[in-house]
Amino acid sequence: MRIAVVGTGYVGLVTGACLAARGHRVTCVDRKTEIVAAINQRQAPLYEPVLPGLLKEVVASGRLTATTSLREAVLGSDVSIAAVGTPLKQGKIDLTFIEETAAEIGAVLREKDGYHLVCIKSTVVPGTTDTLVKDTLKAASGKEPGEFGLAMNPEFLREGRAVEDFLHPDRIVIGADDDRSFARMRKVYAGLFDAPILRVNLRTAEMIKYATNALLATLISFSNEMASLCEAAGGIDALEVLEAVTRDKRFYPPEGREPVKPEITGYLQAGCGFGGSCFPKDVKALISFGREKGHLPRLLPSTLRVNREQPLRLLGRLERELGTLAGRKIAILGLTFKPGTDDVRESPGIAIIRQLLQKGARVCGVDPCGIKNMQKVIPEAGNVHYTRDPQLALEEADAAILVTAWPGFLEIPPEDYARAMRNPLVVDGRRVLDKESLEKAGCRYLGVGLA
């Protein structure tokens, strides 16, 4: 099929490259000429493992091209997939880009003969596609639904594993306005994936995306709430508690089968909180949506509150351990919100660094990929510096806080902490370090969920 993907951000570019890799002819659309040029030169304009190689392959084969002309892309395609941003603005989702995109696509459909499917892949609150998008398409095109198709196909991509998630999905959700829309959208995926296709209406598809992220975010905050209770009680290790909880047969396969730990149990782990472009934004948008509809969510605000307080709880324990943070050098191991990405949006490291600076500490942040983006949030100056070298960050440090579980940080020998630091206090914000080995090497260990 011929597919236009409007928006070449994280979701759009991964979607376009993966569909092209599976044989479709894809045209990616972006207003920024430098991004279009980079794609056509086989260069990924964003960080995502595997994507650069895949992009080189599909651009070289001619199956993927990029353009600034939305008109050209829509006229030459059977399906248009909108993957533009839906940022938060004053606490609620901003649908400006969605409305603009629908209007631009609709204007092209006015001059285009034949049936064309418009699919929304951006994360939008329920009721967006069947009202705002549909009405905008009708007004701009002069056509009625049926003359054009309308679908909502949410994405479930994890940063750092997005290509894998797209090419090997666990389910494909298609919200369709009618049978013809569903049939064409199904054709996009036909024969490509061995995954169940779930047909729902447009609003249900929109809600599935939010419900998925809200659940995962809540599992993380639940784990951190349990960790805080373990710390308060003393003599309890939250790591052991949560490991035992996830051994429940409702998480693991029934007895007699090969035990395979489901990935969802990875969200039942104590740490310094979640971040990224999805969980915080989507939970906030869902809360705002509920209030607009006359329902005040109760669980979701608590999920955000626990997450907001978690990094500060960790620093409170550090301050009690050191007596004062003023003048202390603190090494921050990890700036991105998770390994495998350069994304620092809503990273716990931001709150930790800001609080340390307010307390008069000197901060040295280390990360293999996230420095450039962190410098846009907290510029390197005065008491904050960044490096890619963990040893440089640890040198003469009074404490080291593991914020992001990059593999390289997990491989630091315990003796290196003891040898390089002035005061070898290691704060394990992800509960992935070996406490016994660190203490044997002469370090003090402080971990989330362990008093």
d(CA 403, CA 429): 5
91 confidence band (pLDDT: 50, 70, 90): confident
75 confidence band (pLDDT: 50, 70, 90): very high
The per-residue pLDDT for 262 is 83
pLDDT per residue over 21-60, tens digit each? 999 999 999 999 999 999 999 999 999 999 999 999 999 9
Same fold: 2-200 with 216-447: yes
Alpha helices by DSSP H, 142-201: 162-167, 179-189
- The three-point CA angle 31-376-385 to 5° equals 155
d(CA 45, CA 54): 13
Interhelix angle 202-233/238-245, nearest 10 degrees: 140
Q: 216-447, superfamily in CATH?
A: NAD(P)-binding Rossmann-like Domain (3.40.50.720)
The per-residue pLDDT for 247 is 87
251 confidence band (pLDDT: 50, 70, 90): confident
The tokens for 397 are 């440090």
CATH 3.50.50.60 fits 2-200, yes or no: no
326 confidence band (pLDDT: 50, 70, 90): very high
259 confidence band (pLDDT: 50, 70, 90): low
How many other CB atoms sit within 10 Å of the CB of residue 33? 10
Q: Which residues are within 8 A (CB) of 131 and not within 5 positions of it... i.e. 6 or more apart?
A: none
d(CA 154, CA 83): 10
Q: Does the structure show a pLDDT above 70 at 257?
A: no
The per-residue pLDDT for 125 is 97
3-class DSSP state of 148 = strand
Reading phi first (left if > 0) and then psi (alpha if -120 to 50, else beta), residue 271 is in beta
> Which sequence spans correspond to the domains of the chain?
2-200, 216-447
Query: Could you write out the DSSP letters of every residue in 200-217?
Result: E-HHHHHHHHHHHHHHHH
d(CA 77, CA 80): 7
Strands (E), 292-394: 329-333, 362-366, 384-387
d(CA 191, CA 174): 16
pLDDT per residue over 177-236, tens digit each? 999 999 999 999 987 778 899 999 999 999 999 999 999 999 999 999 999 999 999 999
pLDDT per residue over 373-427, tens digit each? 999 999 999 999 999 999 999 999 999 999 999 999 999 999 999 999 999 999 9
Q: Which residues are within 8 A (CB) of 243 and not within 5 positions of it... i.e. 6 or more apart?
A: none
Q: What percent of the chain has pLDDT over 90?
A: 94
Q: Are 189 and 38 in contact (CB under 8 A)?
A: no
Please state the length of the chain.
Answer: 451
Please list the active-site residues: 278
Q: Which residues are within 8 A (CB) of 220 and not within 5 positions of it... i.e. 6 or more apart?
A: 267, 269, 271, 273, 274, 279, 307
Round the average pLDDT of the chain to a whole number and report it.
96
